[in-house]
Amino acid sequence: MDIMNVGYGFYMMNFDHEGDITKAVLEGPWMIYDHYLSVRSWSLDFIASRWTKL
């Protein structure tokens, strides 16, 4: 698995196995160090800067 920081608190993950993608997307949200992590499939129209905190 490869992880790339795309800014504004978002990361893009490239999985090696289809089963890992399914698990990451369908079995979340995940808890990491008392923070929630939600995962969704990438969308071409996603722009990280639109999701910044107000």
List CB contacts of 31: < 8 A, sequence separation 6 or more: 37
- pLDDT for the residue numbered 16: 94
Residue 19: φ, ψ to 5°: -65, -35
Report pLDDT digits (tens) over 1-54: 899 998 888 999 999 999 999 999 999 889 989 988 888 888 899 888 887 664
In DSSP terms, 2 is beta-bridged to 14
- pLDDT for the residue numbered 54: 46
Range of the domain at 6: 2-51
User: For the whole model, what pTM was predicted?
Assistant: 0.72
CA-nearest of 54, 48, 9, 16 to 32 is 9
- pLDDT for the residue numbered 23: 93
Number of domains into which the chain is organized: 1
